[in-house]
Chains A and B, each alone.
Chain A
Amino acid sequence: MERIPILKVGRFLLVTIQVDMHDQLALTLQEDLTARIVSTGARGVLIDISALDMVDSFIGRMLSNIAGMASILDAETVVVGMTPSVAITLVELGLSLPGIKTALNVDLGLELLEHSLAARGESSAGSEDA
């Protein structure tokens, strides 16, 4: 079955969406991702959507859902690499994704996650859970 790969990068998980999302794929991703957050103790999730050139309300809701689930599991979600056309479409659809952090690219996204962990008093060298 088609699956979206989830990569572990340090204390964070990286999801790159490169194919058209449909219901089943999104559900599988949610399942896999929550399982991985628990099994790896990841503190953050990066969702890279730079390859997406079309979005609809479904994808917007899926991103919100993933962010909500991750935050319950104490992991922060950052959506990175959104293209201008996608951003405009989401705003026009009225989905401004409140509560989701965003960054221009994966680099800046990782930096953002490190920062917010540091702000919460968790050292960035924290490999005690490794």
Chain B
Amino acid sequence: MGLEELAGVIERNEGEVLGDWLRLQTQSLSSKRIAEAQLKTESHRFLLALRETLRLGTTDLTKDDRTGIKDFLSELSRDRAVQGFTPSETAMFVFSLKQALFKCLNKEMAADPKAVAENTWLATELLDRLGLFTVEIYQKSREGIINRQQQDLLELSTPVIELWHGILALPLIGTLDSARTQVVMQNLLEAIVSRSATLAIIDITGVPTVDTLVAQHLLKTVSAARLMGADCLISGIRPQIAQTIIHLGVDLKDVVTKATLADAFRLALQKRNLAVGKA
């Protein structure tokens, strides 16, 4: 009676359970993201690991994972998260086994309803736990992916461009938060030193919204650049943003602002006594 028996049922009906399970899984997958052969190998491995776990009589998998069933599930879950499976598709890998398993249980113990109920309960408990664990790992992997992408964005989106000798441009794209402003400020100031620039143009064409906080961050960057001896111009202010800035009561009077990067560049050249003319 109990876990041992459940393991026996699985062993005796392995072929059938596996077949049913695979069919159910293929049905629940909306698109063919995974090869049937791979699905089969994975399912087979999981079933073997599950049987071993049952045989060892382990119920608390958080403490005891001798059969490596959790490691196997984590790996599977992570892979599927990366491949773009939905959470339910990933969880269905475990949950769809229930139906196949219960069918076999019913068949084997048709004469003993009490044993069926008991075994069903045991299997449900274990599979639920494993299913939840799968979802948890899936979630964690997705969070990992999001974090990495955020980091990538942070690095990608703050290039400092040299427009002319001593004139730098910093095209900002995306929302400015404190962490990003810190990176932007650091990048700009370091570029000012390394290229010995005296003028920097901060272009905010790609910044979707400007609130008081963003404005404050911009002003801080401008002040820091000024302290190092470089003048800052802000360009790329869209009409809506100009309105917002005034409505918010942000004071940008100490900063030179231009509507477009071209205007700012012309002013920058003028300040350095340069001019662009026809060849």
Chain A residues at the B interface, C-beta cutoff of 8 Å: 79-80, 82-84, 86-88, 90-92, 96-97, 102-105, 108-109
A96 to B224, CA, bound (A): 7
| Given known contacts A104-B196, A104-B198, A88 and B189 CB-to-CB distance under 8 angstroms | yes
Chain B hits for A108, CB < 8 A:
196, 198, 229
Q: Is B175 an interface residue (CB 8 A)?
A: no
A87 near B225 with CB under 8 A, answer: yes
Contacts A91-B220, A104-B230 known; 19 new A-B pairs at CB < 8 A: A79-B227, A79-B229, A80-B229, A82-B227, A82-B228, A83-B228, A84-B189, A87-B227, A88-B224, A90-B224, A91-B223, A92-B220, A96-B226, A97-B227, A102-B227, A103-B229, A105-B196, A108-B198, A108-B229
Chain B residues at the A interface, C-beta cutoff of 8 Å: 185-186, 189-190, 192-193, 196-198, 220, 223-230
Residue of A nearest to B225 (CB): A87
Chain A hits for B225, CB < 8 A:
87
Q: Which of A80, A82, A87, A104 has the most CB of B within 10 A?
A: A87
Chain A hits for B196, CB < 8 A:
104-105, 108
A102 near B226 with CB under 8 A, answer: yes
Chain A hits for B226, CB < 8 A:
96, 102
A102 near B189 with CB under 8 A, answer: no
A104 near B220 with CB under 8 A, answer: no
Nearest CB of chain B from residue A22's CB, rounded to whole Å = 22
Chain A hits for B192, CB < 8 A:
84, 104
Nearest CB of chain A from residue B134's CB, rounded to whole Å = 45
Chain A hits for B224, CB < 8 A:
84, 87-88, 90-91
Q: Which of A80, A83, A96, A97 has the most CB of B within 10 A?
A: A96
Nearest CB of chain A from residue B143's CB, rounded to whole Å = 30
Nearest CB of chain A from residue B176's CB, rounded to whole Å = 16
List 28 A–B pairs whose Cβ atoms lie within 8 Å, in order of A's numbering.
A79-B229, A80-B229, A82-B227, A82-B229, A83-B193, A84-B186, A84-B189, A84-B190, A84-B224, A84-B228, A87-B189, A87-B224, A87-B225, A88-B185, A91-B220, A91-B223, A91-B224, A91-B227, A96-B223, A96-B227, A97-B227, A102-B227, A103-B229, A104-B192, A104-B198, A105-B229, A108-B196, A108-B229
Q: Which of B196, B224, B229 has the most CB of A within 10 A?
A: B229
A90 to B197, CA, bound (A): 20
A86 to B229, CA, bound (A): 13
Chain B hits for A86, CB < 8 A:
227
